[in-house]
Amino acid sequence: MIPLAVPNLCGNEARYLQECIDTTMVSTVGEFVSRFEESVAAAAGSKSAVAMASGTCGLHLALRAVGVGRDDLVVTPDFTFVASANAVAHCGAMPWLMDVDADSWCLDTVLLAGTLRAETEKRRDGLFHRLSGQRVAAILPVYTLGCPADMDSITAIAAEFGLPVVADAAAALGATYKGRPTGDMGADLSVFSFNGNKTVTAGGGGIVAGHNPDLINTVRHLSTTARVGADYTHDQVGFNYRMTNLQAAVGLAQMEMLDEMVAAKRRICERYNAAFSDLAGIRAFPQPEWAESACWFSGIALEDARPGLLTAVHGELRDAGIDARPFWQPMHHQRPFAEAPTALTCVSESLKDAILTLPCSTNLDDATQTRVIEAVRASFINNGIG
Ligand SMILES: *Cc1c(COP(=O)(O)O)cnc(C)c1O
C-alpha cells in the first residue's frame, strides 16, 4: 500500500532519543523541550512558544488563556477537523459554526462580519449573541490544509468587536500570509500540531506560540497543574498537558528539516495539480493569492460531488494499493455539535464527499507519485470524469 502521509524520520531522531535515554531525561523536564519550543517559535516568527502533549491540548489552553469559559460561544469554521470544535467544548463553551468561502476553504470573512453585525450586541461586559444571550468570547480561524485564512480581514473584524483570535494553525507551519510567517499573521495565539500525520512530527504533540508573554505564561501555567512555586501548591484547576522530552527530541530533529519537508510537500502538490489540470470536473486545493500554503495534504476536489463517485474512486484506488482518503465532514453534521448555532452558505455542505486526499508523505518519490497519478486518472476516466 502506498500510504497517505507517514512520518519521514531521516534526521537526528534516533540520536536525540538515545540521548534522552542515556541521561534518563524522558519526562516533561529536559533540554529538548526548551530547544523544541525555541525552534518552533523561530520558525513561526513568534516571540515565544510552549510545548503541549497535542495540538488539541494546545487549542484548549490557548482558548482558556484568552478568556473563553463556560457557556461562551467561539466562532469556529464549520469545515474543520473535529479537534477545533472539541477544544471549544473542553472549555465548557460552544462553537458558533460559520461557513468557509469557496476559494480558500477558510472562514468566510464577509459572512463573519455580516453575521456578527446582524446577530450580536455590545454590552458593558462583552459581546453577546442576541438570540441565545450567550457571550461571544473569541474567533478561532483554521488554516485549512496548511493554507492561512485571510487574517488581515479577520483581525480587523476581531478588533471591531473586541474579540481575541486564536488560530488553529495545526498543519500550517511553513506557510506564509502576505509574506509573514505562521505565528505572525495577527492572531493572539497560534496553535500547531506535531501529530504523526503532520508535515513534521513529534510522534504526538503541539505548540502554542505568540508574541504576548503573559498569554504564553498562562498556557504554560495551566499545562503544568497550575503549580505555584516548587511545592504542592496550585492556584486553580490545572492540567497535565506538557510534552515529554522524548517527544521533543523527535520534534527537534524534525524541525531541523522543516524547510526541506515543506518544500517536498509543495513539490508533491504542484505535481498532482499539473497532472490533473486537464481533467474537467476536478479542481486543485485552494491557493488564495494572499497565502503561500504549507501544502500539508495534496489531493483533488470534485466540482460536483455526484453521489457515490468519490466512494467508487476511493475503492478502485485502494484495490490498486493506493491509500487515498475522503476528508473532513462539516461540524454541523457531527452529533456533539448538531445543536450549535450556525451561519452557513452551503460551501461546507458542497465540500462534503467532494475531497479526496492522495499520498503525500515527504519521502514520496517521483516514480511512486507517477503510479498514483496514473491510477487516479484511470479511475476518474473510468467513472466518467475528465
Ligand atoms: C491535526 C489537527 C488538529 C489536532 O492536532 P492533534 O495534535 O492531533 O491534537 C487540530 N486542528 C486541525 C485543523 C488539524 O489538522
Give the number of other CB atoms < 10 A from CB of residue 363: 12
Strand partners, 123: 126
Q: Whose CA is nearest to atom 5 of ligand 1?
A: 55
Please enumerate in sequence order all residues whose Cβ is within 8 A of that of 366, keeping only pairs 6 or more positions apart, or say none. Answer: 271
Q: Which residues pair with 210 in a beta bridge?
A: 48
pLDDT value of position 33 = 98
> What is the torsion angle, in degrees rounded to the nearest 10, for the CA atoms of residue 60, residue 64, residue 67 and residue 70?
80
- C-alpha 197 – ligand 1 centre gap (Å): 9
User: With a 6 A CB cut-off, is 79 part of the ligand 1 pocket?
Assistant: no
Q: Is 47 exposed, middle or buried (0-12, 13-18, 19+ CB in 10 A)?
A: middle
Task: Give the CA angle between residues 370, 376, 377 to the nearest 5°.
Answer: 90
Instruction: Among 60, 63, 195, 198, say which to mutate for ligand 1: greatest number of ligand atoms within 8 Å of CB.
Output: 195
pLDDT in 10s for each residue of the chain, 386 residues: 999 999 999 999 999 999 999 999 999 889 999 999 999 999 999 999 999 999 999 999 999 999 999 999 999 999 999 999 999 999 999 999 999 999 999 999 999 999 999 999 999 999 999 999 999 999 999 999 999 999 999 999 999 999 999 999 999 999 999 999 999 999 999 999 999 999 999 999 999 999 999 999 999 999 999 999 888 999 999 999 999 999 999 999 999 999 999 999 999 999 999 999 999 889 999 999 999 999 999 999 998 888 889 999 999 999 999 999 999 999 999 999 999 999 999 999 999 999 999 999 999 999 999 999 999 999 999 998 87
Ligand 1: distance of its center to the CA of 45 in Å?
Answer: 20
- Residue 273's identity, in one-letter code, is N
369 lines ligand 1 (CB under 6 A): no
358 Cβ below 6 A of ligand 1: no
Which among 193, 297, 328, 360 is the best mutation to test ligand 1's pocket, defined by most ligand atoms within 8 Å of the CB? 193
Distance 166 CA to ligand 1 centre (A): 14
How much is the pLDDT for 40?
98
232 alpha carbon – ligand 1 mean position (Å) = 32
Would you state the pLDDT for residue 136? 98
Regarding the beta carbon of 203 and ligand 1, being less than 6 Å apart is answered no
DSSP assignments along 256-298, one per residue: TTHHHHHHHHHHHHHHHHHHHTT-TTEEPPP--TTEE----SE
Q: Whose CA is nearest to atom 6 of ligand 1?
A: 55
Specify the residue with its C-alpha closest to ligand 1, atom 7: 55
Ligand 1 centre to CA of 200 (Å) is 13
pLDDT of the residue at 230: 85
The Cα 184–Cα 88 span in angstroms is 23
Candidates 354, 329, 355, 358; CA nearest to 77 is 329
Q: CB of 322 within 8 A of CB of 372?
A: yes
Start-end of H helices in the chain: 13-23, 31-44, 55-65, 82-90, 109-119, 151-161, 213-223, 245-255, 258-276, 309-319, 347-351, 366-382
What is the CA(83)–ligand 1 centre distance, in A?
6
* Closest ligand 1 atom to Cα of 144: 13
Distance CA 41, CA 115 (A): 34
pTM score: 0.98
147 lines ligand 1 (CB under 6 A): no
Atom of ligand 1 nearest to the CA of 80: 13
Looking at residue 306, what is its pLDDT? 82
> What distance, in Å, lies between the first and last C-alpha atoms of the chain?
26
Residue nearest to atom 14 of ligand 1 (CA): 170
